[in-house]
Amino acid sequence: MRDLRIETLYEPTDEVTKAIRDGLAAYNLAITGEQEWARFAIAVRNARGEVLGGLLAELAWDWMHVSQLWLHESLRGRGIGTELLRRAEAEALARGITRAHLETTSFQALDFYLKNGYTVFAQLDGKPRGHTWYYLKREDLTRPER
């Protein structure tokens, strides 16, 4: 350990980030074999081309993970969020992926995801303080949501 330096980096360089990601990817590949992996976004734009919302997701290990879904307040409650989820699920299905998971908090969109067929499989109380972090999944994207 004498010849090693361990650093805490709050703004890691691309070199550090790439080395960690590539190292983990190589390890995972050795254990699981070749797996399809893809990142994608679905954007909502106004007539001027400004992004007013969207969804970020990745497809990996036979699951779709929705990492973020956001809509400007003026667009909420109009079915656009549901349309984003359906389009993302269609992308997953087109690649043979039939399961999805995501996270939300008690002050974000739990009821929205429950309404769209996702179920809570775990929760972490106190993240953030005074709230709850929920982990949700949808086991079969081929079946219509509730």
CB-facing half-sphere around the CA of 103: CA atoms within 13 A: 8
Q: How far apart are CA 15 and CA 20, in angstroms?
A: 9
Q: What's the pTM value of the predicted model, to 2 decimals?
A: 0.86
No. of helices (H) and no. of strands (E), the chain? 3, 6
Extents of the domains making up the chain: 36-138
Residue 23, SS3?
A: helix
Strands 100-105 and 63-71, sheet pairing: parallel
d(CA 139, CA 141): 7
Question: pLDDT tens digits, residue range 10-48?
Answer: 999 999 999 998 898 889 889 888 877 899 999 999 999
Question: What CATH number has the domain spanning 36-138?
Answer: 3.40.630.30
